[in-house]
Amino acid sequence: RVATRLRPRVSESFVWRTEVAVGGPGDLRAWDVHLSGPANIGIDIETRLHDIQALQRRLELKFRDSGVDRVVLVVAATRHNRTVIREHRAALLSTLPLDTAEVLAALRAGEAPWANGLVLI
């Protein structure tokens, strides 16, 4: 459901694919959504946040190993997730400096965000 809320907010200049492999043979990791076109953007979707440190490490490794230009973490906008993000936003800034409005404005315009970002939707 989270992906279906995101899709109408992304320009048609991007090609939308799901479950795209991160690395080569044997690497079982995948992006939930991969946008290609003006830029290659790997998107991970979380419906309920738990271990923020583990999530951050996972995103950083996928970014390193996949060759995408940008990473976007899309999170379901639930009360729980908003609380977790509010409590841990400072720690996530090094990995995901942009917030929802900045990321969605770029994707709507058919451009890559200027940095990685976090979207609550």
Q: Is 71 helix (H, G, I), strand (E, B) or coil?
A: strand
pLDDT over threshold 90, residue 26: no
**What is the structure's pLDDT at 17?**
97
Per-residue pLDDT of 46-85, as tens digits, reads 999 999 999 999 999 999 999 999 999 999 999 999 999 9
**What is the structure's pLDDT at 89?**
95
> Confidence class of residue 98 from pLDDT cuts 50, 70 and 90?
very high
Q: Are strands 30-36 and 15-21 parallel, antiparallel or unpaired?
A: antiparallel
Report d(CA 59, CA 51) in Å as an integer: 12
**What is the structure's pLDDT at 73?**
98
> Confidence class of residue 1 from pLDDT cuts 50, 70 and 90?
confident
pTM of the model: 0.95
Q: DSSP per residue over 77-100, as a string?
A: --HHHHHHHHHHHHHHTTT--B-H
Average pLDDT over residues 98-118: 97
